[in-house]
């Protein structure tokens, strides 16, 4: 089970801060590629790729938070509907749903959410989906 924490940066390796700086350089288009970004902040490409999807700064505006989750759903009538009810009960709003066609009775679903008014934590929502026995391989892909 994945767990998320908010911690003081002083206890974390300096490379985490540098990964965030490199990602910011790329997002603001101050550099053209990952090689330039990691050279600018003084980390290896391997360090960047290892942590780029795992370390984040909290938004200054916590009012507009988004998350992307993925899961595998059995191809049974009402399965997606049950997932949507669980999400709704957690007070998250669905922004997009992408579902692949079922292969071998299982479909991959990726859902982007507005979690600004989420009851509890994103971990609570993921645990709820995992324990519901309607979704397998529930994962947090990204959070903003």
Residues 125 and 96 in one domain: yes
Residue-level pLDDT at 1: 62
Residue-level pLDDT at 61: 45
Q: Which of 9, 11, 93, 94 is nearest to 56 (CA)?
A: 9
- Kindly give the parts of the chain with pLDDT less than 50: 60-62
Residues 89 and 118 in one domain: yes
Q: Is 131 exposed, middle or buried (0-12, 13-18, 19+ CB in 10 A)?
A: exposed
Residues 77 and 41 in one domain: no
In a domain, 30, yes or no: yes
| CATH number for 134 | 3.30.70.260
Q: How many distinct structural domains can be found in the chain?
A: 2
Its domain, for residue 127, covers 66-143
In a domain, 115, yes or no: yes
Residues 72 and 122 in one domain: yes
Tell if the pTM clears 0.75, that is, is over it.
no
Alpha-carbon distance 143 to 66, whole Å?
6
In a domain, 120, yes or no: yes
Residues sharing a CB contact under 8 Å with residue 95, sequence separation 6 or more, in sequence order: 66, 112, 113, 114
Residues 43 and 70 in one domain: no
Helix (H) or strand (E) run with residue 68 in it = strand 66-74
In a domain, 83, yes or no: yes
Residue-level pLDDT at 60: 46
């Amino acid at each position: 089970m994945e767990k998320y924490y908010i911690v003081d940066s002083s206890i974390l390796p300096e490379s985490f801060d540098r990964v965030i700086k490199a990602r910011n350089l790329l997002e603001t288009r101050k550099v053209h590629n990952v090689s330039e970004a990691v050279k600018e902040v003084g980390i290896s490409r391997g360090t960047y790729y290892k942590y780029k999807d795992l370390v984040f700064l909290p938004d200054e505006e916590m009012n507009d938070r988004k998350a992307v989750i993925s899961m595998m759903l059995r191809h049974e009538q009402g399965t997606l509907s049950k997932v949507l009810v669980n999400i709704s009960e957690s007070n998250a709003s669905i922004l997009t749903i992408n579902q692949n066609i079922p292969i071998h009775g299982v479909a991959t679903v990726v859902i982007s959410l507005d979690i600004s008014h989420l009851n509890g934590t994103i971990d609570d929502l993921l645990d709820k989906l995992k324990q519901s026995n309607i979704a397998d391989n529930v994962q947090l892909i990204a959070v903003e």
